[in-house]
């Protein structure tokens, strides 16, 4: 695919003129490369696409301003949904509520922000340097795949076709620059966690930010809470929708178990007690397992430094 459009200043002007015409304005403090940000300016669906994209951009701009480094330029922004088979299996459609992800491709790195459905950032952020990406590929089936250098594979759905087509091109171009410059930053894992407060990298297996002191939930602490009371783990992660769904499951499991115990008391049928025990172990155990997995995917703040508000 041609990448000629990437560095043409006149195309930036063209994009800017089109944005003004549509009535879309972006934060002037953020360096955007408009020619890559908006690859489709005219034609069927272009205007609607730009407006939709602008809404997502507006949601992430406040975080982005704090995240970007000196000289960093934003090349592309898009929103998709991280797909995990295990989560889809155990939480069904509800898994989507905790997996909305905005991609920000800059000239230096890929930033990933966990967001709500509209693109408003939550508290979990990651960085992937392009040198850590072995495969960045969109498919006609609607899936976007990332294969990382440390073997991790990430799958996303929900990115519009234009995004699935453009992002790999932007990535290839940025990676070529890396190779030219011999740029290969050191990381502790390919998908590096970023602090929710100061956006500095937090090393693999570390749950306190060295830079600002914010501390994060350890997956085992969250899982233990879910083992005791299903949905407790998701409450501390602020996954409220999932927590409500789990709480309904929890009460149903207990209601059925109580009925079974009453049945045992009346009939002396030992099978009822075994069934009740099985239901409770499954409900609590599975919830703990899945919460452990979810908590391990990124950082979730446990406490914030009181100085935080003053720093922003
Ligand atoms: Zn920090």
Residue 291 CB partners (closer than 8 Å, separation 6+): 219, 222, 223, 225, 226, 233, 234, 237
Q: Are 215 and 303 in contact (CB under 8 A)?
A: yes
pLDDT of residue 310: 43
Q: Do 224 and 190 share a domain, yes or no? A: no
**Cα dist from 93 to 15, 33, 160, 246, whole Å:** 37, 35, 19, 13
Q: Do 111 and 157 share a domain, yes or no? A: yes
Whether 291 is covered by a domain: the verdict is yes
Domain extent for 303 = 219-311
Parts of the chain with a pLDDT under 70: 1-8, 304-312
Whether 208 is covered by a domain: the verdict is no
CA atoms within a 13 Å half-sphere pointing along the CA-CB vector of 216: 26
Whether 60 is covered by a domain: the verdict is yes
pLDDT of residue 8: 67
Output DSSP code: residue 142.
S
Strands 100-106 and 109-115: antiparallel
- Cβ neighbourhood burial of 254 (10 Å; 0-12, 13-18, 19+): middle
Cα–ligand 1 centroid distance for 14 (angstroms): 39
pLDDT of residue 7: 57
Q: Do 237 and 185 share a domain, yes or no? A: no
Three-class secondary structure of residue 57 per DSSP: helix
Query: For the chain, what is the domain count?
Result: 2
Instruction: Find the CATH number of the domain harbouring 106.
Output: 2.30.29.30
pLDDT of residue 311: 45
Whether 246 is covered by a domain: the verdict is yes
Cα–ligand 1 centroid distance for 308 (angstroms): 9
Q: Do 35 and 169 share a domain, yes or no? A: yes
Cα–ligand 1 centroid distance for 210 (angstroms): 7
Q: Do 225 and 189 share a domain, yes or no? A: no
Whether 207 is covered by a domain: the verdict is no
Cα–ligand 1 centroid distance for 173 (angstroms): 31
Cα–ligand 1 centroid distance for 188 (angstroms): 16
Q: Do 32 and 122 share a domain, yes or no? A: yes
pLDDT of residue 214: 95
pLDDT of residue 3: 47
Q: Do 120 and 224 share a domain, yes or no? A: no
Cα–ligand 1 centroid distance for 153 (angstroms): 26
Cα–ligand 1 centroid distance for 306 (angstroms): 12
Cα–ligand 1 centroid distance for 221 (angstroms): 21
Which of 194, 229, 244 marks a domain boundary? 194
Which of 161, 194, 227 marks a domain boundary? 194
Q: Do 137 and 272 share a domain, yes or no? A: no
Q: Are 37 and 16 in contact (CB under 8 A)?
A: no
Q: Do 9 and 91 share a domain, yes or no? A: yes
What tokens appear for 35 in the block? Answer: 């020619």
In whole angstroms, give the CA distance from residue 157 to residue 73. 26
Whether 210 is covered by a domain: the verdict is no
- What does the pLDDT look like over 117-152, one tens digit per residue? 999 999 999 999 999 999 999 988 999 999 999 999
Closest CA to 230 of 170, 185, 292, 274: 292
What tokens appear for 1 in the block? Answer: 């695919």
pLDDT of residue 61: 98
Q: Do 110 and 32 share a domain, yes or no? A: yes
pTM (predicted TM-score): 0.90
Output DSSP code: residue 44.
T
pLDDT of residue 312: 41
Q: Do 58 and 139 share a domain, yes or no? A: yes
Q: Do 101 and 231 share a domain, yes or no? A: no
CA atoms within a 13 Å half-sphere pointing along the CA-CB vector of 64: 31
CA distance from start to end of the chain? 41
Whether 26 is covered by a domain: the verdict is yes
């Amino acid at each position: 695919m041609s990448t000629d459009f990437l560095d043409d200043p006149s195309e930036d002007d063209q994009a800017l003129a089109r944005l003004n015409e549509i009535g879309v304005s972006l934060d002037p403090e953020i360096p955007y490369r408009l020619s890559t940000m908006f690859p489709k300016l005219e034609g069927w669906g272009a205007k609607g696409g730009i407006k939709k994209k602008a809404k997502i951009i507006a949601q992430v701009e406040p975080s982005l301003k704090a995240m970007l480094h000196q000289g960093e330029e934003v090349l592309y922004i898009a929103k998709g949904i991280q797909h995990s088979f295990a989560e889809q299996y155990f939480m069904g459609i509800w898994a989507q509520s905790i997996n909305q992800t905005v991609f920000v491709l800059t000239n230096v790195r890929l930033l990933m922000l966990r967001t709500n459905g509209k693109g408003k950032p939550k508290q979990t952020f990651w960085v992937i340097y392009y040198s850590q990406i072995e495969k960045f590929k969109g498919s006609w089936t609607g899936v976007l795949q990332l294969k990382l250098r440390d073997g991790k594979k990430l799958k996303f759905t929900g990115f519009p076709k234009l995004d699935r087509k453009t992002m790999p091109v932007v990535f290839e171009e940025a990676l070529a620059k890396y190779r030219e410059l011999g740029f290969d930053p050191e990381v502790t894992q390919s998908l590096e966690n970023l602090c929710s407060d100061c956006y500095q990298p937090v090393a693999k297996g570390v749950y306190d930010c060295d830079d600002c002191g914010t501390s994060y939930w350890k997956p085992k602490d969250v899982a233990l809470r879910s083992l005791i009371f299903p949905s407790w783990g998701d409450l501390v992660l602020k996954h409220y929708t999932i927590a409500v769904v789990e709480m309904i499951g929890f009460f149903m499991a207990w209601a059925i178990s109580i009925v079974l115990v009453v049945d045992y008391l009346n009939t002396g049928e030992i099978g009822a007690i075994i069934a009740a025990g099985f239901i409770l172990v499954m409900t609590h155990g599975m919830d703990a397992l899945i919460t452990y997995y979810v908590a391990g995917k990124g950082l979730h703040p446990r406490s914030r430094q009181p100085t935080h508000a003053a720093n922003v």
